[in-house]
């Protein structure tokens, strides 16, 4: 993720150092612009540091990550415009990766309320060097945090609005937050409303002073698109982990638990956690796929077979290749529903708690036949729980692109299951072998391969207000830039007159994941 961000920095960086502006005076001057210890420096148009890399601090012992991060931000408060890191940034978590690097993620707070989109991250090497600090801090927030309307009123506003164009749903408990949006800071109630028919995971931000809806979006993320059995393409699956209740075999896999490993999968799921596949029909999650003799060969079972097998292999891939215990690194349950027919055909979702594979229409097969699609959807779950890239504009395009990277890397890691290629979802289309996105040649599918408006396929995010109708400012289109980057890093080639030597898909995925 950092490497893609560096590419964007090189493209966006304004030549020359910007002088001190009026905001610098509030917390002191920006002393990082000409710091000789930095190898990379990037700032916003207003002169606020957003990405710094170099030898920022040394000898940081285990357990001192938070103090060291606070100290650096405090010493350079003028550069980041953070008055008091200890008061304005709350530690969300510390991640340790496979190279021993420690990553401290801090969430911005204003008078105890989360500032949506405000986050700073520090990256410390295994040798104790503070290497990188990056993120977005909203400075100058001056907002009264006393709501004018209470949470039940905000929930009612959101429910009434949703019912007017979409349908009913079940709301969660609203949270009072600060929401920077379109050059203004709003005090807002933030809530999610869930529905299964039609499928919805709607995020609402309701102004806590006026009751007006500031923002709404369906946060379901989609792609545009031991038993034996037969998959969608007619392939024999000779290892399907199932469970029996004494009379019926069900697609419940408990063999990835750390305390239950009868088949040598080496899983790390906690006791009781499972991988489970449903037949959805018109409602979610549907009924657990079942069979009388553990031989899953009926035509209506093919999508369940592939969905179950591929999801289990995605868990194994995350666990053994990327060192991640499932999509959230906690070994949580992994649920897959197939043949969902209540809303349409030929699509797939991650809905915040499971993946959903739709039914299929004439000329199509179930997308459960596509290992890259199954891995893509679980890739959204990884991104949501690891970096929480907002699903709109450039961060949304990166979100989609990282899912395509995981989908392609998973497919290349399982050549005996499917012929690896750089098309996404090609197995779902009966006529021809081309998918709905190409990572090697994004232009062939109408997607950009170069950042910015010089590429005729780039969706300009400047001045774009994200909504469903514009694909949240082109998240499925602009993902082509990250996809092309990943292809070049993997296979090499010449692009924009720059020649690249590939390092192989497996190595490229390690970089993208870190």
Active site residues: 377, 476
**Radius of gyration, CA atoms only, the chain:** 24
Residue 495 buriedness (CB in 10 A; 0-12 / 13-18 / 19+) = middle
Residues whose CB falls within 8 Å of the CB of residue 474, separated by 6 or more in sequence, listed in order: 393, 397, 458, 459, 461, 464
Q: What are phi and psi of 36, to 5 degrees?
A: -70, -15
Q: Please name the helix (run of DSSP H) or strand (run of DSSP E) that holds residue 179, with its range, or none.
A: strand 175-181
Long-range contacts of 118-122 (CB under 8 A, 24+ apart): 118/178, 118/180, 119/92, 120/69, 120/73, 120/80, 120/82, 120/85, 120/89, 122/65, 122/68, 122/69, 122/72
Task: In whole angstroms, give the CA distance from residue 112 to residue 87.
Answer: 9
Helix boundaries (H) for 387-439 = 393-413
Tokens of 146: 């006393």
- Rounded CA-CA distance 61/129 in Å is 9
Residue 281: left if φ>0, alpha if ψ -120 to 50, beta else—which one?
Answer: left
Of 89, 121, 112, 81, nearest in space to 1 by CA? 121
One DSSP character per residue, 21-33 reads -TTHHHH----ST
Find the angle CA(36)-CA(42)-CA(37) to the nearest 5 degrees: 15
Show the beta-strand stretches assigned E in 293-428: 295-296, 334-345, 348-350, 355-359, 423-424
β pairing state of 355-359 and 334-345: parallel
Residue given tokens 């969902």 in the structure block: 340
273, 275, 276, 277: CA torsion to nearest 10: 160
Beta bridge partners of 200: 195
Partner residues linked to 257 by β-bridges = 260, 269
Nearest to 311 by CA among 282, 278, 340, 343: 278
DSSP reduced 3-state for 174: coil
- Contacts (Cβ under 8 Å, ≥6 apart) of 217: 202, 203, 391, 392, 466, 467, 468, 472
């Amino acid at each position: 993720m950092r490497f893609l961000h560096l590419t964007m920095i090189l493209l966006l960086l304004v030549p020359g150092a910007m002088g001190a502006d009026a905001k610098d005076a509030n917390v002191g001057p920006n002393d990082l612009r000409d710091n000789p210890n930095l190898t990379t420096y990037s700032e916003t148009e207003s002169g606020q540091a957003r990405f710094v890399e170099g030898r920022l601090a040394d000898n940081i012992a285990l357990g001192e990550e938070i103090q060291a991060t606070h100290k650096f931000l405090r010493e350079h408060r003028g550069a980041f415009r953070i008055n008091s890191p200890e008061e304005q940034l709350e530690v969300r978590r510390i991640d340790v990766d496979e190279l021993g690097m420690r990553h401290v993620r801090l969430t911005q707070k204003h008078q105890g309320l989360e500032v949506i989109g405000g986050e700073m991250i520090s990256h410390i090497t295994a040798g104790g060097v503070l290497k990188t600090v990056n993120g977005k801090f909203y400075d100058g927030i001056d907002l009264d945090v006393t709501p004018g309307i209470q949470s039940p009123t905000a929930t009612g506003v959101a429910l009434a609005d949703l019912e007017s164009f979409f349908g009913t749903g079940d709301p969660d408990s609203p949270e009072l937050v600060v929401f920077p949006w379109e050059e203004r800071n709003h005090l807002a109630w933030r809530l999610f409303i869930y529905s299964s028919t039609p499928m919805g995971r709607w995020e609402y931000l309701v102004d806590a002073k006026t009751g007006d809806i500031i923002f709404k979006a369906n946060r379901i993320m989609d792609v545009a698109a031991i038993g034996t059995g037969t998959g969608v393409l007619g392939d024999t699956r000779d290892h399907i982990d199932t469970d029996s209740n004494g009379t019926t075999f069900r697609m419940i896999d408990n063999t990835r638990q750390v305390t239950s490993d009868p088949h040598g999968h080496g899983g790390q799921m906690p006791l009781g956690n499972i991988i489970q596949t449903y037949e959805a029909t018109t409602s979610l999650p549907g009924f657990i796929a079942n069979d009388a003799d553990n031989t899953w060969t009926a035509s209506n079972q093919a999508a369940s077979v592939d969905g179950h097998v591929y999801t289990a292999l995605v868990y194994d891939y995350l666990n053994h290749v990327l060192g991640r215990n499932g999509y959230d690194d906690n070994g949580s349950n992994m649920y897959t529903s197939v043949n969902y027919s209540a809303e349409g055909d030929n699509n797939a979702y991650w809905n915040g708690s499971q993946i959903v594979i739709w039914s299929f229409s004439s000329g199509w097969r179930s997308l459960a036949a596509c290992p890259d699609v199954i891995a893509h959807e679980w890739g959204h779950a990884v991104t949501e729980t690891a970096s929480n890239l907002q699903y709109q504009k450039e961060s949304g395009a990166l979100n989609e692109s990282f899912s395509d990277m995981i989908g392609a890397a998973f497919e290349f890691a399982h050549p005996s299951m499917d012929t690896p290629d750089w098309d996404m979802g090609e197995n779902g289309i009966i006529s021809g072998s081309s998918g709905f996105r190409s990572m090697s040649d994004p232009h062939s599918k109408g997607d950009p391969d170069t950042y910015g408006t010089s590429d005729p396929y780039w969706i300009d995010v400047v001045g774009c207000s994200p909504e469903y109708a514009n694909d949240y400012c082109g998240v499925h289109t602009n993902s082509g830039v990250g996809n092309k980057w990943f292809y070049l890093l993997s296979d090499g080639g010449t692009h924009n007159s720059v020649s690249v030597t590939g390092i192989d898909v497996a190595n490229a995925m390690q970089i993208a994941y870190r």
